[in-house]
Homo-oligomer: A and B are copies of this chain.
Amino acid sequence: MPGTRLDPIDRKILAELQADGRMTNVELARRVGISAPPCLRRVRTLEEQGFIRGYHADIDARELGFEVQVFAMVGLVSQAEADLSAFEDRCRAWPLVRECHMLNGEVDFILKCVAPDLSSFQSFLTGELLTAPNVASVKTSLVIRGAKDEPGVPFDVLEARLSKSA
């Protein structure tokens, strides 16, 4: 329901839970300026309406031995919808592929992959990705280092935007 607009308290709740998903409801209520029960009701509603998709611990992959991160640009032979879906299904089944986005432009898909080491990735690349049906070309780029990694919504931009249109 795009019609179900959020009030400033709801947006604050989302921003706080994005920053710290394990915050207690009491603390959350204190920060957004209401008491605990209505705060919990709002959180439940936001979950049901799909604004909150879930909660996840942010695990350090490198500490667990996944030292390689790679972006793969994939071009397909056929861009028919059935072939696109088939490739997406394959990506969902590959554990080393953590993200798969369909793009416009010369490249059809971009994949974010992780692997324990280079040889693991290369065996995945040559044994799985390059040999998958309908794959025409793959260009890979190793991540040398990460400078910023904050998936989520820039709530400061959202608030600025809303205050303008109001």
Q: List residues of A whose CB falls within 8 A of some B CB.
A: 2, 6, 11, 14, 17-22, 49-61, 63-66, 69, 71, 88, 91-92, 95-105, 107, 109-110, 114, 116, 139, 141-154, 156-158, 161
**Number of this chain's copies in the complex:** 2
> DSSP majority for the A interface?
mixed
Q: List 16 A-B contacts (CB under 8 A).
A: A14-B57, A19-B56, A21-B22, A21-B56, A51-B63, A52-B58, A54-B58, A55-B58, A64-B158, A96-B157, A101-B143, A101-B144, A101-B145, A102-B147, A103-B144, A104-B142
- Other 16 A-B pairs with CB < 8 A, given A54-B58, A88-B147, A96-B157: A14-B57, A17-B56, A18-B57, A19-B56, A20-B54, A20-B55, A52-B57, A52-B59, A53-B58, A54-B57, A59-B152, A59-B153, A95-B154, A99-B146, A99-B151, A102-B143
